[in-house]
Structure 1
Amino acid sequence: MARRIWDVHYTPIIGQTQVDYMLGRFYSTEHISQQLAEGQRFYFVMLNGIEVGYTAISEVSPGNYFIHKLYLEIDKQRKGKGSVVFEQLLGLMEDLEAVRLQVNRQNLKAINFYFKMGFVIEQVADFDIGDGYFMNDFVMVYHPK
């Protein structure tokens, strides 16, 4: 599923070579096992019994959460499903103070979605992910009302 979503969505933004690198690095069995051991919780997004996306969150300190992944199949975007998933994620977060995430600065659809959900840009950051690749991201934060 990650391959299907990333190939369509991220190749125009970061190129196929970086997509391949990031999928190989961040979606290996070893890396996912490490993420689970570190407390990340993974969920599939289901629609009519079919997997149409996935998400991963973790609590980094009491009341402070990080959304590591929030992806939907391209044809399921812009139909309200992302908003529903985000609201469901909020329901899993106990004593919520803040939610943070990183989003590529060229990923305008996602940035606009997060603005709509109430996120604001907290910082601009470039993360070295090895082999000469960088994630050029906004760190965004959401505070419940």
Structure 2
Amino acid sequence: MIIKAELKDISTIQDLAKRSWEVAYADILKQEQIDYMLDLMYSADAIRIHLENPNFHYYLIKENDEFLGFIGFEFHQELATTKLHRIYFLKEAQGKGLGKKALNFIKEEVKKIGDKRITLAVNKNNQAKSFYESQGFNVYDEGIFDIGNGYVMDDYLMEFVL
């Protein structure tokens, strides 16, 4: 089940982010960088600002009365482009087809709004890149982004054209 997140769901999003990141990035980033990025990207204020933006949407993924993941995307982030900012699942959600279901949901939402492209950034060492490729995303560029505190994100930039 995919449920639109609201302000009351901020702590759920924070909990899912922390629990999923500790698995997703354990072998990619140092714990200090994970902690820094979680504080930066998932503070209550940061999530509240996103939820108050009419183009930014968070959805919670729930199965059997348990939240297993979340997605966050922003319509019109560039001309005719939706940016997939967040798609994270707990370890126990892997292999259930929920990632594919979530991406298909986003594709349908993007079609409704009229954007023609979905972009995302994935760490160059993240195995999720092959998942995105299996769902029709292609690498169109690379980027190294300074996120402060001496940390950078070294990413592939991927796109799906509708």
**Correspondence 1:63 to 2:80:** yes
What is the deviation of 1:61? 4.5
Aligned-residue offset at 1:78 = 2.6
Equivalent residue of 2:103, what SS?
Answer: helix
Q: 2:126 matched to which residue of 1?
A: 107
1:65-80 alignment to 2 at 5 Å?
65-80=82-97
Structure having greater relative contact order (Cα 8 Å, sep ≥ 6): 2
Work out whether 1:24 is the aligned partner of 2:42: no
Find out whether 1:127 has 2:145 as its counterpart: yes
Per mean C-alpha deviation after superposition, the further-off stretch among 87-96 and 111-120 is 87-96
Q: Distance in 2 between matches of 1:47 and 1:37?
A: 26
Q: Matches of 1:130 and 1:7 in 2, distance apart? A: 20
TM-score by length of 2: 0.83
Instruction: Give the aligned CA root-mean-square deviation in angstroms.
Output: 1.3
Q: How many residues align?
A: 143
Whether the aligned pair in 2 keeps the contact of 1:3 and 1:23 (CA below 8 Å) is: yes
Alpha carbons 2:68, 2:92 under 8 Å: kept: no
Consecutive unaligned residues in structure 1, runs of 5 or more:
none
**Contact 2:40–2:46 under 8 Å retained in 1:** yes
Partner of 1:7: 22
Q: Is the aligned partner of 1:45 residue 2:61?
A: yes
Unaligned segments of structure 2, at least 5 residues: 1-15
Q: Give the conservation status (yes or no) of the 8 Å contact 2:120–2:157.
A: yes
Superposed CA deviations along residues 45-100 of structure 1, whole A, max 9, x for unmatched, are 11122110000011124631010000111121133111111111111112241000
1:65–1:99 CA contact under 8 A, matched in 2: yes
What is the identity, as a one-letter code, of the residue corresponding to 1:121?
V
Counterpart in the other structure of 1:142: 160
Identity rate, percent: 30
Given candidates 105, 126, 131, the residue that maps to 1:88 is 105
- The 8 Å contact of residues 62 and 95 in structure 1, kept in 2 or not, is answered as no
Aligned to 2:7: none
Retained in 2: the 8 A contact 1:100–1:142?
yes
